């Protein structure tokens, strides 16, 4: 496409100039036709490649982020709300991959065109080129200033969108509670409050956009006027051919267009930088509680020991939950932890599951700290039935087999029978073991879920 303005000028010269001839016209038109064809073919291929690149980049970023997030320790999820993380996973990843592919495409095309146009312009007339060139640094400076501003606002936007998402996530995942308190309107207005914050940031963005368009347009129109005036003089004085001026003007438009698009790319890239900051922060974050233990003995007797354990939650480090806690549970012993609400009973269990590390002291099973056990092995040995167990929106069998690499129907049924669940699964559900239990197991009773 870089050659097309040049040959357009040539066609004009072939028609209007002193050496106008059919032969010259045919030759230049043929070259232009071939160039246009090639530009079309490669343009399509370029679009296709970038679409594919977009899909692969998108998959890669989301995969990296999700993998890193699920590996984080429970404390991470105390600090970061689910909705916010989901927003990183959807909106921010989308922005990043869109930008990387779409803008890389536009960027490479525009840079090539920009340099191509400049080379042609200088070859055509260095005097006219100089007029144009003086303006380029000014245009870049203006775009840079607005770009930095835009970047700041973009990061603010992504954050406020993430907060709004978090509200939506929380409400939708606890819709029963919302309804039982008749809080539909309250939650809607709360969501609206967050949307309004985003709108406010967007209003500030409006000024950046207006400023950017005004200054760019003014600069471009300014040079166009000067080039037309000076170029016109050169043609009238017979210093250059009229075809050359046509070519030059076409390059001039082209260059303006390229600079405008480059400005947009710049803003887009800034937006991606804003979005990617948080995404990479999550991707690069090493979990504070590592599950790198490898100890997996054939047999476990099940002696549980807490040795001088001190603990506080990472989110509230100065609120001690336990101080110098020592006790032993012998294998086969049934032990009840009794204490006031908020006394730290559930926290003991959380540490036994290696959700948190004690601040000091040790939590041991069979004399080995839980941290040294293989992650998967530990969780086949330590089982917990919560008051509100979580089921997944999958079949009954998949829920029973969750966490096992391999299992069959016999194993599932056997464990269901042991848990006294077989009868109700067979009698009270529509599809037996294939029944979908609904989101978070909402289509099961509390006791059924626990069994």
Ligand X SMILES: Nc1ncnc2c1ncn2[C@@H]1O[C@H](COP(=O)(O)OP(=O)(O)OP(=O)(O)O)[C@@H](O)[C@H]1O
Residues that bind ligand X (CB under 6 A): 78, 313, 315-316, 321, 339, 341-347
Longest dimension (CA), the chain: 109
Is residue 415 part of the contact set for Mg ion (CB under 5 A)? no
Residue with tokens 């967007």: 202
Is residue 355 part of the contact set for Mg ion (CB under 5 A)? no
> With CB cut-offs between 5 and 8 Å by kind, which of Mg ion, ligand X, none does residue 321 bind?
ligand X
Is residue 346 part of the contact set for Mg ion (CB under 5 A)? yes
Closer by beta carbon to Mg ion, 118 or else 348: 348
Is residue 36 part of the contact set for Mg ion (CB under 5 A)? no
Is residue 313 part of the contact set for Mg ion (CB under 5 A)? no
In this structure, what DSSP letter does residue 434 have?
G
- Are the C-beta atoms of 194 and 164 separated by less than 8 Å? yes
> With CB cut-offs between 5 and 8 Å by kind, which of ligand X, Mg ion, none does residue 313 bind?
ligand X
> With CB cut-offs between 5 and 8 Å by kind, which of Mg ion, ligand X, none does residue 359 bind?
none
Q: Looking at the DSSP assignment, which residues form a beta bridge with residue 309?
A: 325
Closer by beta carbon to ligand X, 28 or else 347: 347
# binding residues, Mg ion (CB under 5 A): 1
- Are the C-beta atoms of 373 and 296 separated by less than 8 Å? yes
Looking at 325-393, list the stretches that DSSP marks H as alpha helix, in order from N- to C-terminal side: 345-352, 375-381
Closer by beta carbon to ligand X, 347 or else 399: 347
Closer by beta carbon to ligand X, 213 or else 315: 315
Closer by beta carbon to ligand X, 26 or else 316: 316
In sequence order, the 6+-apart residues with CB closer than 8 A to the CB of 364 are: 303, 304, 305, 306, 307, 370
In this structure, what DSSP letter does residue 286 have?
P
Of 146-154, 222-230, 328-336, 342-350, the segment contacting Mg ion by CB under 5 A is 342-350
- Are the C-beta atoms of 134 and 157 separated by less than 8 Å? no
Closer by beta carbon to Mg ion, 173 or else 346: 346
The whole-angstrom separation of Cα 154 and Cα 138 is: 24
**Shortest separation between residue 392's beta carbon and Mg ion, angstroms:** 23
The whole-angstrom separation of Cα 98 and Cα 104 is: 9
Rg over CA atoms, the chain: 34
> With CB cut-offs between 5 and 8 Å by kind, which of ligand X, Mg ion, none does residue 347 bind?
ligand X
Q: Which residue ranges make up the site for Mg ion (CB under 5 A)?
A: 346
């Amino acid at each position: 496409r870089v050659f097309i303005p040049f040959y357009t000028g040539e066609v004009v010269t072939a028609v209007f100039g002193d050496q106008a001839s059919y032969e010259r016209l045919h030759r230049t038109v043929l070259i232009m036709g071939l160039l246009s064809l090639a530009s079309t073919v490669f343009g399509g291929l370029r679009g296709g490649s970038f679409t594919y690149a977009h899909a692969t980049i998108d998959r890669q970023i989301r995969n990296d982020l999700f993998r890193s997030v699920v590996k984080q320790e429970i404390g991470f999820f105390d600090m970061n709300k689910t909705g916010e993380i989901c927003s990183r996973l959807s909106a921010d990843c989308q922005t990043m991959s869109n930008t990387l592919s779409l803008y890389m495409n536009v960027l490479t095309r525009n840079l090539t065109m920009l340099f191509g146009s400049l080379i042609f312009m200088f070859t055509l007339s260095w005097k006219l080129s100089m007029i144009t060139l003086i303006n380029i640094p000014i245009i870049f400076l203006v775009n840079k200033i607005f770009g930095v501003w835009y970047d700041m606002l973009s990061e603010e936007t992504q954050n406020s969108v993430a907060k709004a998402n978090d509200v939506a996530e929380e409400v939708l995942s606890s819709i029963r509670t919302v309804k039982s308190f008749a809080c539909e309107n309250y939650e809607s207005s709360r969501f609206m409050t967050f949307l309004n914050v985003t709108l406010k940031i967007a209003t500030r963005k409006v000024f950046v956009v207006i400023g950017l368009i005004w200054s760019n347009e003014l600069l471009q129109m300014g040079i166009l006027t000067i080039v037309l005036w000076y170029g016109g003089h050169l043609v009238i004085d017979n210093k250059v051919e009229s075809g050359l001026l046509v070519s030059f003007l076409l390059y001039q438009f082209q260059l303006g267009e390229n600079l405008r698009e480059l400005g947009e790319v710049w803003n887009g890239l800034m937006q991606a930088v804003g979005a990617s900051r948080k995404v990479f922060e999550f991707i690069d974050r090493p979990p504070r509680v590592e599950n790198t233990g490898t100890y997996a003995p054939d047999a476990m007797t099940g002696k549980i020991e807490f040795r001088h354990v001190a603990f506080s939650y990472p989110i509230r480090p100065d609120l001690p939950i336990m101080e110098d806690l020592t006790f032993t549970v012998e294998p086969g012993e049934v032990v009840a932890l009794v204490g006031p609400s908020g006394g730290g009973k559930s926290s003991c269990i959380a540490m036994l599951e290696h959700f948190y590390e004690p601040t000091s002291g040790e939590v041991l099973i069979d004399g080995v700290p839980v941290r040294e056990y293989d992650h998967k092995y530990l969780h086949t040995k330590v089982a917990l039935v919560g008051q509100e167990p979580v089921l997944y929106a999958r079949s009954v069998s998949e829920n029973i087999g969750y966490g096992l690499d391999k299992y069959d129907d016999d194993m599932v049924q056997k464990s269901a029978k042991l848990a006294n669940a077989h009868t109700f699964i067979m009698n009270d559900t529509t599809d037996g073991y294939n029944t979908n239990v609904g989101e978070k197991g909402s289509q099961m009773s509390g006791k059924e879920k626990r069994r």
